[in-house]
Amino acid sequence: MELHDCLRLRRDTRHFLAEAVPEAALDKAFAAAHHAPSVGLSEPWRFVRVLSADKRAALYQNYCTAAENGDKSSLSPERRALLKSLKLEAIKDAPELIGVFCERPIAGSYTIGVQGTQDALVWSCVCAVQNFWLSLTAQGYSAGWVTILDLSLLSNLLGTSPAWEPLGLLCVGRPADHYGGIPMLEQVGWKTRSAKPVVVQV
């Protein structure tokens, strides 16, 4: 798929068909992720494929609690009702569920580029997620990135190293809905995208 078409067609997907994602498609998407830029060639991205139904159920519970706990006091009753009606994740029903983590280099080692901020390591992982997402899109699949979570519990829930910093969950599969070619939050009237990015000159 041509790059700019892919950028335009990529959606944050929360509705998936039940069909399994072929291993070859996942492998290709992980390889795409691995082509992301990484600060100082640190390659800090770590992916956790959740196969355990129990772990998946625990992650869904984590999501439900986080969604419930969010402070919605600034929303009108109408907006609150709209929010409640929205499907914002597919943790239970996506064919694949993948945790994303950032492993920072060993303390005391030197990494080029993290002197301004250690967060540059997380940003590298985010670029890997975006590559993964785009590759899935080009292959006819999609992802939804779930961050409505108590991230501090993710390592424990998945049994991963506490040194891996959790960046959320990716729900992955074949889209059951393309939301009319626009973001679902725009389709349902939650928010409208702006026509152009803010670019100022100095």
177 token code pair: 């809905």
- 130: contact with its own copies by CB under 8 A: yes
Residues 29 to 58 in contact with its own copies, rule: CB under 8 A: 30-37, 39-41, 43, 45-52, 55
Question: DSSP 3-state assignment of 120?
Answer: helix
Indicate which single residue of 18, 57, 119, 140 sits in contact with its own copies (rule: CB under 8 A). 119
Residues 56 to 85 in contact with its own copies, rule: CB under 8 A: 66-67, 69-72, 74-75, 79, 83
- Kindly determine how many residues on this chain lie close enough to bind its own copies according to the rule CB under 8 A: 94
**Cα 82 to Cα 70, 86, 91, 143, 185, distances in angstroms:** 15, 7, 20, 23, 10
**Cα 54 to Cα 58, 92, 132, 174, distances in angstroms:** 6, 11, 25, 23
Euclidean distance between CA atoms 148 and 61, whole angstroms: 11
Measured from the CB atom, the residue of 18 and 112 that comes closer to its own copies is 112
- 194: contact with its own copies by CB under 8 A: yes
* Distance, first Cα to last Cα, the chain: 36
Q: How far is the CB of 113 from its own copies (least distance, A)?
A: 5
Q: How far is the CB of 11 from its own copies (least distance, A)?
A: 8
- 12: contact with its own copies by CB under 8 A: yes
Q: 43-54 burial, b for 16+ CB within 10 Å, e for fewer?
A: bbbbbbebeeee
- 92: contact with its own copies by CB under 8 A: no
- 188: contact with its own copies by CB under 8 A: no
Residues 133 to 172 in contact with its own copies, rule: CB under 8 A: 133-135, 137-138, 145, 147-151, 158-160, 167-168
Query: CB 110: neighbour CB atoms within 10 A?
Result: 8
